[in-house]
Amino acid sequence: MATPYRNGRVLHSVFAAALYAGEHVAATEFVIGATFVALGAQIMDILLGLLIGNILAILSWTLITTPIAVETRLSLYTYLHKIAGGNMTKLYNWANIIIFIVISAAMITVSSTAVRFLFDIPAQLNWYPTDPWFVMVVLGVGVIVVLVAMYGFNAVSDFSGICAPWLFVMFPCGGLVLMPALAESVLGYTTLSGWSDFIQIGSQSVWTGVNAQGEPGIGLLEVIGFAWAANTITHFGLIDMALLRYSKKKSYGLSTSSGMLFGHYIAWIAAGIMGAGTAVILKTSITTLDPGDVAFHALGLSGFVVVIVAGWTTANANLYRAGLAAQAIFHNHSLKQTTLVVGVVTVIVACFPFVFSKMLPLLTYAGLLVVPVGAIVFAEHFIFPRIGLTRYWVTYRKLSHSTPAVASWGAGLVFGFGLNALDIISFYYLFVPTWIFTIIVYTVMAKKYGAGEQYPEEEAALLSFDQKVEAFQEEQAKTYKMPIQDNTTFSKLLHIVAHASLTIALLLACNTMFFSPDMAAYEENREIFYEVGFACTVIYFAAAYWAMRRRKALTEAQELGRPALI
């Protein structure tokens, strides 16, 4: 098995956890969390369903995506080229460019809802922009996202590493701060006496079991299905091979739990509470609120930063993926160049608010589009060697077009969207039978077209090449040095300041929830949280950024063999 070292890059477990935490604690959590409320889920379905669904997602990354990535050290795009030829790879890359442009655009649009709030720009509730100043805001927010993504894997990881701990604290703070307002509206008093009060508030004011149209809402199976299906693009669809190929161990797939069990569990629950609490304060429906409204009333000025930063961290990772897909097509251009072009298109799409208002169906159908391709790769990598078929047979036959791969992808799409049209099962679960169906079709067709034959000379040549590559990587590994730790007093002080600022913000949020005996005290405590919490936000980012700069300076000095200028 090849080493994870490629051009000096390696993904450590802590960085993997930070990357997934930063990406999946996103601005759209405000949209998705509020959507569960609008769809009429019940509180126990949310608490149990999100837990089960997100654990299934973690297992999908751990048992499907990471093993293939670690065993091959290839991105999906490169692997697909080996087993399906150049023509299908180009089609697939184009599909991914479109998908990740839309997802990244949604993140930028959501971030822009916070900035538009600052400048009193009207909420953008149509599919098109209704105010030219909103377009200007989107352009300004988008520029930052594109610049970070252009600097590639390390920049995305560094940015997520700074933002993740702060996002971990802010989302729960928002739920804590608005809980007394919900308690007062349901119980008649602001302080919760126990778990039963939380369940009662959640059942009557947040996850009521009745949707926005006054009809019975979604149930446990739908909640589980969406939590599992929300990231089918990256786990069943294998897109995250691009990131996980740098993992030192297959167990690094479990690092995704930092994003799933927080971003897609705690953050979705907190976002639902924030949305319902904001609706109570403003005396309006949750369906009329955008993320900027919710974030401001939950977190004050820090809320604006949450929406902006959470949007950036997710958009950065997805633009990086889109840039990789574009570079695979336009391989004569650098990753920075392709990411720039993709980024420009993304920012233009972000000017149209429909991309975030339709996030649930967009994510589900995008996953259904690419899952058949993940099934083809899974079949070739795991199933073929076990049933006597030849892996990489397309490469051995020097084919630029794989009829079984293209036909299986098309058949999988017809099968999946056909099931959706017939309404046989919930569209959240369509990816499972589609994945299985595609595996069967591809395996049968590939055997007929050449996978059932043996290619001893070609296999020997590929093995020899892989051994040379692995030897080269081993040499790189010998020269790779782990980043040195900055144990100076000043560095320790920066970390203390950063952690203290987060702790103070969380304590103030707890004070607002647990020590507000009436509405007057609640409003006073909430204002204190708004003001001091924002100061903590500024202090945290200043300390965390400076600590990162010192660490990078030490690492660069180590590589160059000179003293660090810090």
Q: Which residue has the tokens 């090449």?
A: 465
Q: Taken in order 59, 62, 68, 69, is the CA torsion positive or negative? A: positive
Burial of 188 (C-beta count, 10 Å sphere; 0-12/13-18/19+): exposed
State the Cα–Cα distance between residues 26 and 164, nearest whole angstrom. Answer: 10
Burial of 40 (C-beta count, 10 Å sphere; 0-12/13-18/19+): buried
CB 16 within 8 A of CB 247: yes
Q: Which residue has the tokens 């077009």?
A: 401
State the Cα–Cα distance between residues 93 and 322, nearest whole angstrom. Answer: 8
pTM of the complete model: 0.81
Burial of 423 (C-beta count, 10 Å sphere; 0-12/13-18/19+): exposed
Q: What is the 3-state secondary structure (H, E, C) of 107-131?
A: HHHHHHHHHHHHCCCCCCCCCCCCC
Residue by residue, DSSP assigns 154-174 as HHHHHHHHHHHHHHHHHHHHH
pLDDT digit string, tens, across residues 232-258 = 888 998 888 877 887 777 888 888 887
Choice between 257 and 65, residue whose per-residue pLDDT is larger:
65
pLDDT at 90 over 80: yes
pLDDT at 281 over 80: yes
pLDDT digit string, tens, across residues 172-211 = 898 899 999 889 988 888 888 888 888 998 888 888 888 8
pLDDT band at 5, cuts 50/70/90? very low
Per-residue model confidence (pLDDT) at position 58 = 92
Amino acid at 287: T
Per-residue model confidence (pLDDT) at position 474 = 65
CB 412 within 8 A of CB 434: yes
pLDDT band at 564, cuts 50/70/90? very low
Mean pLDDT of 304-326: 76
CB 296 within 8 A of CB 119: no
Per-residue model confidence (pLDDT) at position 6 = 44
Mean pLDDT of 499-514: 93
Mean pLDDT of 392-414: 91
pLDDT at 482 over 60: no
CB 28 within 8 A of CB 359: yes
Instruction: Classify 300 in phi/psi space as left (phi over 0), alpha (psi -120 to 50) or beta.
Output: left
Choice between 13 and 174, residue whose per-residue pLDDT is larger:
174
CB 497 within 8 A of CB 539: yes
Per-residue model confidence (pLDDT) at position 7 = 41
- Mean pLDDT value across the chain: 81
Per-residue model confidence (pLDDT) at position 565 = 47
Query: Roughly how many angstroms between the first and final C-alpha of the chain, as a whole number?
Result: 39
CB 178 within 8 A of CB 277: yes
Radius of gyration from C-alpha coordinates of the chain: 24
pLDDT digit string, tens, across residues 35-54 = 788 788 899 999 999 999 99
pLDDT band at 371, cuts 50/70/90? very high
State the Cα–Cα distance between residues 362 and 103, nearest whole angstrom. Answer: 8
Q: How far is CA 261 from the centre of its chain?
A: 12
